[in-house]
Structure 1
């Protein structure tokens, strides 16, 4: 017969979610440093390209882009212009970056980095099932945290000294939000 105690709930939920805790922790750290290193995908094939472009415009149509892309066997999926660079997204994870002042660019075929890229995909997913599962995971993390602080008793318990660490742990992100948000 299962006995519902803080220790048992804490232990069993932690066992169940340990894989997701590791995956989310790992991918969260990587996402924090994505400006330096973004392993969601990597270029396995690159080709330098030179395009004759209208350089005085940042307004490109789908048809214009498809016309200069016709020789590459790619299917248009969207584009954006930022800092004088045209980025074109094609299906099957192909990206073109072109310097609009020179027409020089790089066409890259990308693949997801094994394991790391997949954990990041889970971290950023907008699939409705995964969002619900992640919400349940968030509630489970609250349960793990609350049951975890209630397990110790005596001089190392929450009432004696644990609350001081908890307050410090809550104040740190609040202070960060106040100073930097």
Structure 2
């Protein structure tokens, strides 16, 4: 098979079609995550009442958090916590989260699951795994190759030289205008 821009463009696009679709969906979802975030969903919740100490240092200790977690058999699943303002958030393995109001002790224990397919594509999109970062970098180079070879496929009056450069320029200008108007 002769290596041409058309063949290179086609074969790289075929190879990466699954990742192109996955990144497209997850990118759109990430853009609208304030309205809908399907990374995970609550499949069970429990309202609980906590007797929390007034001393923030005691409350902010791993030992204390593990102690209160024993009530739900989650002490061994403790994965971290944070205090922001009047809210205590405790993270447990298997996507379990406890949100508590420090002043009232009112809390919600949420058991969450990843949304099938969509949640998993978002995991790929946001991954910090070294292997995946390298694979994503290779994917980025492949996207550049698809873009460059795509510019060279068409000949004649619809070629990049005659017509395509105008659309490409318009496509480049729009993001810059957006960045200037909305820094």
Name the TM tier (shorter chain). over 0.9
Q: Aligned in 2, Cα 1:15/1:107: closer, same or farther, shift over 3 Å?
A: same
| Match of residue 69 from structure 1 | 69
Alignment size in residue pairs: 180
> The residue matched to 2:111 in structure 1 has which SS?
strand
| Match of residue 41 from structure 1 | 40
Corresponding residue to 2:84 among 82, 85, 89: 82
Give runs of aligned pairs for residues 20-31 of structure 1, distance below 5 A.
20-31=19-30
In the TM superposition, what is the alpha-carbon distance from 1:83 to its structure 2 partner?
4.2
| Match of residue 144 from structure 1 | 146
Give the TM-score of the pair, scaled to structure 1: 0.93
| Match of residue 158 from structure 2 | 156
In the TM superposition, what is the alpha-carbon distance from 1:145 to its structure 2 partner?
0.6
Q: Could you tell me how far apart the structure 1 residues matched to 2:73 and 2:44 are?
A: 14
| Match of residue 52 from structure 2 | 53
In the TM superposition, what is the alpha-carbon distance from 1:36 to its structure 2 partner?
1.3
Give the TM-score of the pair, scaled to structure 2: 0.92
Q: Deviations over 1:29-53 (max 9, x none)?
A: 1111111111111111111011111
| Match of residue 100 from structure 2 | 98
Q: Could you tell me how far apart the structure 2 residues matched to 1:154 and 1:83 are?
A: 64
In the TM superposition, what is the alpha-carbon distance from 1:56 to its structure 2 partner?
6.5
Stretches of 4+ aligned residues off by more than 6 angstroms = none
Q: Could you tell me how far apart the structure 2 residues matched to 1:115 and 1:162 are?
A: 36
Return 5+ residue gaps in structure 2 as ranges. Answer: none
